[in-house]
C-alpha cells in the first residue's frame, strides 16, 4: 500500500513538513508557516511563488511563468506543483513573501523605534475593542429564577464593572442563549464589543475559549491593502499579509475611481473588490495560522476618506465636488457582515474617523500612532502614499492638509517609473564622471525605478550638475548618458543590456518636471501650514515620515531636492506604516480608539486648493530646492550656491 | 357614458361615501371610517360583516353565512357585495366592529377614569420613543466643510440637546444620507429612536414631514391581540383594531402551545402566525386611516412572557421547566423587520419587560398604567385574561404572582361556555322562583355563556340556594330546571327553543367545580401575597381590576363567590386593558418606558407552585365563598350564614 503522506524538506530554512500526497508545495509551505509570495492566492496566475526542486517526485502543470532556462534549473511554481513523494525544495530569496515591497512594519519593532524618538510615548492599557471573557454563571434555582439574559448581564457587570444599562446584545445571541447556557452547564465565554455608548454581547460560546480572541487591523490604501492578524487576548501581532488594492484596475488614484464608479454605476463593484481583497487577506492569515474565522471578532480599518467610503459602501461622489464633503467622518461600529467582510457572523467593523475629504482615517490613525495628542514639541507628520498628507501640531493643536503630490513617487506617470517591487531601482548615486551606481529591490536585474530611487536620482542629477536648479538638463555636460530622443532630452540610468525589460532605463525632462511638481506640492503644503500658524521650519522639533515610501527614502536627498524642509536629519524619524499601526493600537485598546476620535475632532483641516498662499508657495517651490535658497541653507552649502 | 362612481349612504350613522363602481360595501365603509366587523379581513369567510341593503344596485356572491330568512330581509355580506349603483346600506348593531367583544379601552377614556380613582396620577411628558424632528441644516461651504453625517448630528444636538456621543445611526440611513440632503436642499426630517443607551437616527426623509410620525401599541394576549394606532407627534390614539391570536389553533393556553411547538419543531411557526396577526392589524389600521407604512416608526408590544418569547423568536421551553426561566426578561429594542413586523424598514420594536416566567410585560405594563410606582396606598392589581396575574404593592414595594386560574372564565372547559362574543350570556339573575333572567352581548339570541355570565350564574345559584356552599346542587329545590343527565345534575339556564344553537344552555355540576377551582386560584393567590407581606384584606385600599373580563364583571358577584376578597365595592376600579394602555404610555413617553423597566426590576415574583401556603389557601378557598366565612363578612350577611 502506497504511503499517502509525504515529507517536504525546505531549504535554506531547514524545515520539514509532512503533508498529504497530492497537496501542493505551497500548501506544504503554508503548513510550515513559511511565507511564499503568492499574490494571486495560489491559482497559478501571478507566477510569484517560484521554488527550486532539489529532489523528489512531483506532478506539475506547464506554466508560462517558468522560462525554459528556469525549468532546466529546476524552477516550478509552488502553487501548481503537487507533492507526490518526499521532496527537497529550495525557496529562492525572491519568492519569500517580500514584505519590504509592501510596508508591513510590525508594532513592537515600531514602538521601539518610536520610543527612542519621542520622550513621551504613552502606551494605552491593553483593553481590546472586542474582549472575550469567561463566565461561570450562578446555577438557577427556584430561589434564583432570574431570566437567562439578565443572569448573563449581571455576571458581566460583576466581572467587568460595566453598568447593566450599558450592556446590550444582538438577536442572534439572544436566540442561542438558553441553549448554550444549558448545554455548557452555565459556563460560557462572551465576546463583548465596544459600541461607543454601549457594550454589545457580540457572541456567546460554551466553555472557556477566552484565549481565542483575534482581530485584524487593516491599512486600506489606495494602492496596497495591508492586514495584521492580532491575538487580542495576548496583545500580540501574529502575522501580516498584504496585497494590491484590486480597485487599481479602475484607476490609479481614487479620484479616477470615483469618476469610474459614477460613470459606470459601479459603487457596489468598488466596494465588492475592496472587501474581497480584505477577505482574501483575512482568509490567508487565518489559514496560515490555523485560526477559525469565528474567532475573528473585529476588524479595524484605517484608510483615506475615499477608501473608507468605498469600503463602507458610502457614496464618495461629493468628495470631489466643492465644498468637498464626505458622507461621514465618523462611522459608528458596524456589523462586519453588513459590508461583506467575512469574520465571525456577529463580528464588528470599526473604521478610524476621517478628518475631511482629503485627510482620512489613515491620518488620524497616524497621528494616534505617533501620539501627536501627547506631543510637547512641535511635530510634523508627513505620510506619503498615493497622496501626501501632512499634519502639524502638538498636544494642544493640530492642523492638517492634503498635498496633491500625485502618484509620481509611486512611479506612475514617470517613463520608467515602477512601484516598489522586486527589480525596482530604489537607490541611485551619480558619480562625478556621470556614472550611475544603483541598487534594486531584491538585488534583481532592474526593471524600472521606484519612488525612493527617483528622489535619489533627482537629488544626484542636481548635485552632479546634470540638471540645473530649474530642473533643466545641462546639455553641455560630458556624458553619453544625456541624449536627445524624439520627446526631448533624457538621461540613461541603466543600459538595456542590464535591464530585465531589455530597454534602457531613462529619466526624461518630462519626468523631472513631474517629480518637481510632486515634491513642490509636498513642500508648499508644509510651508503653508507653518505660515498659517505663524511658524517657520526652524520651529519644527520632530519630523515623522510615514508611508511605504519612507522606508527607503534618503532623507538628505529629499531635503536636497526641497521636498522636505531643511531640518536637521536627526529630527527626522521614519515611523513606517502608521495607518496600520494606529489601527492596531485602536484594536488593542478602546482608549486608543477613543483618542483617535478626539484627535480627529481636534484637527483643523486646511483646503489647499482654495488657498492663495498655497499657490504662491507652490510656484516658488517648483525649483531645486526652492526659488529662495535661503530657505535651504544646508542645501546652499551642499550645492555651493551663494 | 356610465358613471363610474357610486354613492353609498350608510345608516343609522347617516354618512355618505363616494366610491368607485365595483368596490365592495366594506371598502366603502372603510373609506367612510366606519368600523364593520370583518375578522377574516374581508375574504368572505367569517360572515361577520352582515349589512342590510336599503335600495340600490349590487352584485353579490352567494354565501352560506346568509340564511334564507336573512336574505329575504336584505342581508348581504359587506365584503362580498360589489357596489354597482348608488346604495343605501344599514349597518346592524351586531356588525359594527364590536369592540366590546375584545377589550379595546381607549387611553383618554381610561386616564379620566383612572384619574378619578387615584389621587396621584402623574402624566408623563409627551416624548415618544420615536420622534420626528425637522431640521434645516446649515448649507456647507469651503469654510464649513463638515461631513454630511456630522453636520446632521450636530444639528440634532443643537435641536434636541442629545449629546453627540449618544447619537448613532444605521447603515441604511448612512448610505442614503448624501443623496437626501442634497435633493431636499439640506432640509430634512429625522426619525430618532430611543435605544436605551443611545439615540438612533432611524430614518431620514426630505422636507418637513415631522407630523407624520405614527406608532402602534399592541397587547399581545394569549387569546386576543389588540392594536392601537397612535399619532406620536400629537400624542393621540387614532384607531383601534383587534383580532384573535391565531396561535389558538395550536392550544388554548400558552403551555399547550409551548408543548406543541416543542413537539412539532414549530417555534418559527408560532412566531410567524403571531407576527402575521400583528401585521394584519397594522395593515388594517393604516389602510383605514390612509397612513403610509413607512410612517410607522415603532411598535410597542406588551404580552405575557410566553407571548413575548414567541413574538421575538425566543425559545420559551424553559419557562415550563423548573426553575421556570425566561430566555430574557428585558429585551433591548430591536429592528421590527428582524422579527418580521412590517412597518418602516428601519422601524423599531420595543417589548415591555417581563418580571418572570409567569408574570410578563402585560403586567409591568399594567402596573405602569395604574402608576403603581406612585401609589401611596396599598393597591392590588388583578389582571384576568387567559391567566390571572396579581400585583400587590405601592410606590415602595411590589410583589406579584400568577394564579393558574385556567381558561374557565373565558368559557373554556365549561359545557356551554363561550368567549365574550355576540350572543354570549354576559349577565344572569336567578329569581326566588328559580327563574333565569339573562342579557346577551349584542342582544342576540343566546349561544352560550361567557366569563362574567358564569360568575353571575355561580353567585346567583348560591344566593338562590340552588347550590350549597360546597357547590353541590340542592336536589330538593322545587324547579324543573334542575335535572339529572347522563353526566350528573345540571341546571338549565335557557331552553333550546330560545337559543341560537337549538340546544339547552345548562350549567353542570362539573362546570361549577371547574369555576370554583378557578376562583379559588385567584383568591388564594391574593391571600398568599397578602400573608407573605404580613397583611390582610383590610389593608387593601385600592383594587384595580384589569383585563377583558373586567368590563362586564359584577363585582358583588365576584365577592359573593369568593373570587375577589371582601372589600368595599367602592375600592374596586375597572381599569380596562392595562396591557395596551401601558404600551401606549411607553410609546408616547420614553420616561414611561423607563419607568416600566424600573417597575419590573422592583417587582418581586412569588412562585405559587412551590409555595405550601398557597396550597393550603387554595384548598380553603374551594368553597363558596370560603371555608372560613369570617373572611367574607359581607357575604355572611348576604347569604345569612352565621
Among A112, A221, A323, smallest CA distance to B140 is for A323
B338 touches chain A (CB under 8 A): yes
| Cβ pair A607, B141 in contact under 8 A | no
Residues sharing a CB contact under 8 Å with residue B492, sequence separation 6 or more, in sequence order = B480, B481, B482, B483, B504, B505, B506
Q: In B316-373, where do the E strands start and end?
A: 334-335, 348-351
**Which sign, positive or negative, has the C-alpha torsion A291, A292, A295, A297?**
positive
| Cβ pair B134, B167 in contact under 8 A | no
| Cβ pair B7, B65 in contact under 8 A | no
CA separation for the pair B370, A365 (Å, rounded):
54
Residues sharing a CB contact under 8 Å with residue B207, sequence separation 6 or more, in sequence order = B184, B187, B188, B189
Residue A365, Cβ density class (10 Å: 0-12 exposed, 13-18 middle, ≥19 buried): buried
CA separation for the pair B333, B336 (Å, rounded):
9
- SS3 call for A213: coil
Residue keyed to cell 415603532: B298
Residue keyed to cell 448612512: B174
B68 touches chain A (CB under 8 A): no
Asked if the interface predicted TM-score (ipTM) of this complex is over 0.90, the answer is no
Residues of B in contact with A163 (CB under 8 A): none
| Cβ pair B150, B167 in contact under 8 A | no
As beta bridge partners, residue B391 has B381, B400
**Which sign, positive or negative, has the C-alpha torsion B78, B79, B83, B86?**
positive
What is the distance in angstroms between the Cα of B355 and the nearest Cα belonging to chain A? 9
Q: What is the DSSP string of B488-506?
A: EEEEEEE-GGGSTTSS-EE
| Cβ pair A50, A74 in contact under 8 A | no
Q: Distance between alpha carbon B420 and the CA centroid of its chain, in Å?
A: 13
Q: Is the pLDDT of residue A552 over 80?
A: no
Q: Choose among B147, B325, B338: nearest Cβ to A148.
A: B325
Contact A324 B141 (CB under 8 A): no
Contact A318 B178 (CB under 8 A): yes
CA separation for the pair A189, A210 (Å, rounded):
6
Residue keyed to cell 513559511: A34
- SS3 call for A239: strand
CA separation for the pair B618, B365 (Å, rounded):
27
CA distances from A593 to A104, A296, A401, A596 (A): 21, 18, 22, 5
CA distances from A333 to A211, A325, A587, B195, B201 (A): 23, 21, 12, 15, 14
CA distances from B483 to A209, B142, B463, B474, B486 (A): 72, 95, 19, 11, 10
User: In which band, very low, low, confident or very high, does the pLDDT at A432 lie, cut at 50, 70 and 90?
Assistant: confident
Q: Choose among A147, A318, A322: nearest Cβ to B329.
A: A147
Q: Choose among A174, A198, A326: nearest Cβ to B198.
A: A198
Q: Choose among B141, B149, B196: nearest Cβ to A328.
A: B149
Model pLDDT, residue B35: 57
| Cβ pair A296, A286 in contact under 8 A | yes
Model pLDDT, residue B1: 43
* Eight-class DSSP state of A419: -
Residues sharing a CB contact under 8 Å with residue B387, sequence separation 6 or more, in sequence order = B222, B253, B304, B358, B402, B403, B404, B405
pLDDT digits (tens, 9 = 90+) for A314-361: 999 999 998 999 999 999 999 999 999 999 999 999 999 999 999 999
| Chain B residue whose CA is closest to A168 | B332
Among A189, A183, A178, smallest CA distance to A148 is for A178
**H-run or E-run covering B262:** helix B254-263
Contact A150 B329 (CB under 8 A): yes
Residues sharing a CB contact under 8 Å with residue A116, sequence separation 6 or more, in sequence order = none
> What average pLDDT does this structure show over A73-102?
74
What is the distance in angstroms between the Cα of A267 and the nearest Cα belonging to chain B? 11
Contact B175 A315 (CB under 8 A): yes
Model pLDDT, residue B553: 78
Domains of chain A plus CATH, in order, are 5-97 (3.10.20.30), 130-206 (3.10.20.880), 214-351 (3.30.420.480), 376-407+516-638 (3.30.420.40), 410-514 (no CATH)
Q: Taking chain B (642 residues) in consecutive chunks of 10 residues, what is each chunk's mean pLDDT?
A: 78 84 82 58 61 86 76 84 90 57 38 34 81 97 92 96 93 95 98 93 97 97 92 92 87 88 94 96 96 97 97 95 94 95 98 96 96 96 88 97 83 81 88 92 88 93 95 93 92 94 92 95 96 96 81 85 95 88 95 96 90 93 96 94 70
B149 touches chain A (CB under 8 A): yes
Model pLDDT, residue B548: 62
Helices (H) and strands (E) in chain B, counts: 16, 27
CA separation for the pair B545, B12 (Å, rounded):
34
Contact A328 B174 (CB under 8 A): yes
Q: Which cell numbers hold the place of B553?
A: 364583571
Peptide bond before residue B323 is cis, with ω within 30 degrees of 0 = yes
B-proximal residues of A, 297-326, CB under 8 Å: 312-315, 317-318, 322-326
Contact A148 B326 (CB under 8 A): yes
Residues of A in contact with B328 (CB under 8 A): 147-150, 174, 177
Provide the H-helix boundaries in B3-120: 25-31, 68-72, 107-117
Q: Which cell numbers hold the place of A149?
A: 439574559
* Eight-class DSSP state of A137: P
B296 touches chain A (CB under 8 A): no
Residues of B in contact with A325 (CB under 8 A): 140, 145-148, 151, 178
Model pLDDT, residue B369: 94
Residues of A in contact with B315 (CB under 8 A): 175, 178-179
CA separation for the pair A441, A448 (Å, rounded):
10
Size of interface A-B (CB pairs under 8 A): 140
| Cβ pair B226, B303 in contact under 8 A | no
Model pLDDT, residue A624: 96
β-strands A505-508, A603-606 pairing: unpaired
Model pLDDT, residue B551: 56
Peptide bond before residue B386 is cis, with ω within 30 degrees of 0 = no
CA distances from B613 to B516, B524, B576, B607 (A): 19, 9, 31, 11
What is the distance in angstroms between the Cα of B523 and the nearest Cα belonging to chain A? 23
Q: Choose among B166, B332, B607: nearest Cβ to A169.
A: B332
A196 touches chain B (CB under 8 A): yes
| Cβ pair B567, B540 in contact under 8 A | yes
User: In which band, very low, low, confident or very high, does the pLDDT at A384 lie, cut at 50, 70 and 90?
Assistant: confident
Model pLDDT, residue A120: 33
As a residue count, chain B comes to: 642
Q: Is the pLDDT of residue A295 over 80?
A: yes
Residues sharing a CB contact under 8 Å with residue A494, sequence separation 6 or more, in sequence order = A425, A436, A438, A446, A504, A505
Residue keyed to cell 366606519: B34
Mutate to test the interface with A, among B179, B327, B610 (most CBs of A within 10 A): B327
Min mean pLDDT across A25-29, A100-104, A571-575 is at A100-104
Among A585, A129, A604, A125, smallest CA distance to A332 is for A129
Contact B144 A169 (CB under 8 A): no
- Phi, psi of B538, deg, nearest 5: -65, -20
Residues of B in contact with A331 (CB under 8 A): 149, 174
Task: Tally Cβ neighbours within 10 Å of residue B185.
Answer: 12
CA separation for the pair A506, A509 (Å, rounded):
10
Task: Tally Cβ neighbours within 10 Å of residue B142.
Answer: 12
pLDDT digits (tens, 9 = 90+) for A244-293: 888 988 887 899 899 999 999 999 999 999 999 999 999 999 999 999 99
pLDDT digits (tens, 9 = 90+) for A493-519: 999 999 988 889 999 999 999 999 999
What is the distance in angstroms between the Cα of A167 and the nearest Cα belonging to chain B? 9
What is the distance in angstroms between the Cα of A362 and the nearest Cα belonging to chain B? 17
Task: Tally Cβ neighbours within 10 Å of residue A432.
Answer: 8
pTM of the model: 0.79
| Cβ pair B429, B435 in contact under 8 A | no
Q: Which cell numbers hold the place of B272?
A: 410567524
Model pLDDT, residue A45: 55
Q: Choose among B175, B334, B357: nearest Cβ to A145.
A: B357
Residues of A in contact with B165 (CB under 8 A): 196-197
Residue keyed to cell 383605514: B288
CA separation for the pair A203, A287 (Å, rounded):
22
> What average pLDDT does this structure show over A116-129?
63
CA separation for the pair A204, A221 (Å, rounded):
34
Residues of A in contact with B593 (CB under 8 A): none
Among B426, B425, B413, smallest CA distance to B550 is for B426
Residue B469, Cβ density class (10 Å: 0-12 exposed, 13-18 middle, ≥19 buried): middle
User: In which band, very low, low, confident or very high, does the pLDDT at A113 lie, cut at 50, 70 and 90?
Assistant: very low
Residues of A in contact with B149 (CB under 8 A): 327-331
Q: Which cell numbers hold the place of B368?
A: 405602569
- SS3 call for B374: helix
Amino acid at each position: 500500500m502506497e504511503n499517502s503522506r509525504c515529507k517536504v524538506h525546505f531549504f535554506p530554512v531547514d524545515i520539514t513538513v509532512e503533508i498529504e500526497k497530492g497537496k501542493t508545495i505551497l500548501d506544504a509551505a503554508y503548513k510550515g508557516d513559511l511565507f511564499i509570495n503568492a499574490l494571486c492566492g495560489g491559482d497559478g496566475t501571478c507566477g510569484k511563488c517560484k521554488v527550486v526542486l532539489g529532489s523528489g517526485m512531483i506532478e506539475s502543470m506547464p506554466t508560462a511563468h517558468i522560462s525554459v532556462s528556469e525549468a532546466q534549473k529546476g524552477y516550478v511554481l509552488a502553487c501548481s506543483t503537487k507533492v507526490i513523494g518526499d521532496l527537497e525544495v529550495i525557496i529562492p530569496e525572491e519568492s519569500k513573501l517580500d514584505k519590504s515591497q509592501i510596508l508591513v512594519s510590525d508594532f513592537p519593532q515600531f514602538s521601539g523605534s518610536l520610543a527612542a524618538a519621542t520622550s513621551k510615548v504613552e502606551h494605552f492599557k491593553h483593553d481590546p475593542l472586542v474582549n472575550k471573557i469567561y463566565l461561570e454563571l450562578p446555577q438557577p434555582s427556584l430561589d434564583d429564577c432570574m431570566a437567562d439574559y439578565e443572569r448573563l448581564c449581571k455576571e458581566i457587570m460583576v466581572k467587568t464593572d460595566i453598568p447593566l444599562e450599558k450592556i446590550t446584545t444582538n438577536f442572534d445571541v439572544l436566540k442561542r442563549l438558553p441553549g448554550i447556557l444549558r448545554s455548557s452547564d452555565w459556563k460560557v465565554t462572551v465576546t463583548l464589543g465596544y459600541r461607543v455608548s454601549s457594550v454589545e454581547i457580540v457572541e456567546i460560546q460554551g466553555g472557556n475559549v477566552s484565549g481565542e480572541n483575534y482581530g485584524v487591523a487593516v491599512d486600506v490604501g489606495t494602492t496596497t491593502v495591508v492586514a495584521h492578524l492580532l491575538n487580542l487576548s495576548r496583545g500580540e501581532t501574529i502575522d501580516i499579509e498584504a496585497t494590491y488594492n484590486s480597485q487599481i484596475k479602475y484607476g490609479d488614484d481614487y479620484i479616477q475611481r470615483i469618476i469610474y464608479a459614477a460613470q459606470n454605476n459601479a459603487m457596489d463593484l468598488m466596494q465588492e473588490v475592496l472587501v474581497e481583497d480584505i477577505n482574501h487577506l483575512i482568509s490567508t492569515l487565518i489559514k496560515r495560522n490555523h485560526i477559525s474565522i469565528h474567532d475573528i471578532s473585529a476588524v479595524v480599518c484605517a484608510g483615506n476618506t475615499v477608501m473608507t467610503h468605498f469600503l463602507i459602501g458610502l457614496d464618495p461622489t461629493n468628495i470631489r465636488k466643492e465644498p468637498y464633503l464626505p458622507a461621514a467622518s465618523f462611522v459608528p461600529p458596524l456589523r462586519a457582515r453588513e459590508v461583506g467582510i467575512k469574520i465571525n457572523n456577529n463580528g464588528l467593523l470599526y473604521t478610524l474617523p476621517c478628518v475631511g475629504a482629503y485627510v482620512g482615517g489613515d491620518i488620524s490613525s497616524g497621528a494616534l500612532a505617533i501620539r501627536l495628542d501627547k506631543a510637547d514639541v512641535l511635530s510634523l507628520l508627513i505620510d506619503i502614499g498615493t497622496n501626501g498628507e501632512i499634519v502639524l501640531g502638538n498636544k494642544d493643536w493640530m492642523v492638517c492638509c492634503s498635498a496633491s503630490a500625485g502618484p509620481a513617487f509611486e512611479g506612475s506617470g514617470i517613463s520608467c517609473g515602477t512601484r516598489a517591487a522586486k527589480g525596482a531601482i530604489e537607490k541611485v548615486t551619480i558619480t562625478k564622471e556621470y556614472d550611475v551606481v544603483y541598487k534594486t529591490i531584491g538585488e534583481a536585474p532592474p526593471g524600472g525605478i521606484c519612488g525612493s530611487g527617483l528622489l535619489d536620482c533627482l537629488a544626484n542629477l542636481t548635485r552632479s550638475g546634470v540638471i540645473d536648479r530649474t530642473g533643466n538638463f545641462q546639455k553641455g555636460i560630458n556624458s553619453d548618458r544625456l541624449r536627445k530622443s524624439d520627446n526631448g532630452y533624457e538621461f540613461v540610468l541603466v543600459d538595456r543590456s542590464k535591464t530585465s525589460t531589455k530597454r534602457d532605463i531613462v529619466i526624461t525632462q518630462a519626468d523631472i518636471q513631474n517629480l518637481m511638481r510632486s515634491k513642490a506640492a509636498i513642500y508648499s503644503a508644509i510651508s503653508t501650514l507653518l505660515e498659517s500658524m505663524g511658524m517657520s521650519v526652524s520651529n519644527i522639533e520632530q519630523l515623522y515620515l510615514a508611508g511605504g515610501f519612507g522606508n527607503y527614502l534618503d532623507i538628505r536627498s529629499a531635503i536636497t531636492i526641497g521636498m522636505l524642509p531643511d531640518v536637521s536629519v536627526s529630527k527626522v524619524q521614519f515611523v513606517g506604516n502608521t495607518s496600520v499601526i494606529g489601527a492596531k493600537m485602536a484594536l488593542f485598546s478602546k482608549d486608543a480608539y477613543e483618542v483617535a476620535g478626539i484627535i480627529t475632532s481636534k484637527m483643523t483641516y486646511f483646503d489647499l486648493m482654495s488657498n492663495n498662499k498655497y499657490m504662491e508657495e507652490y510656484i516658488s517651490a517648483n525649483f531645486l530646492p526652492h526659488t529662495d535658497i535661503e530657505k535651504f541653507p544646508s542645501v546652499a552649502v551642499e550645492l555651493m550656491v551663494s
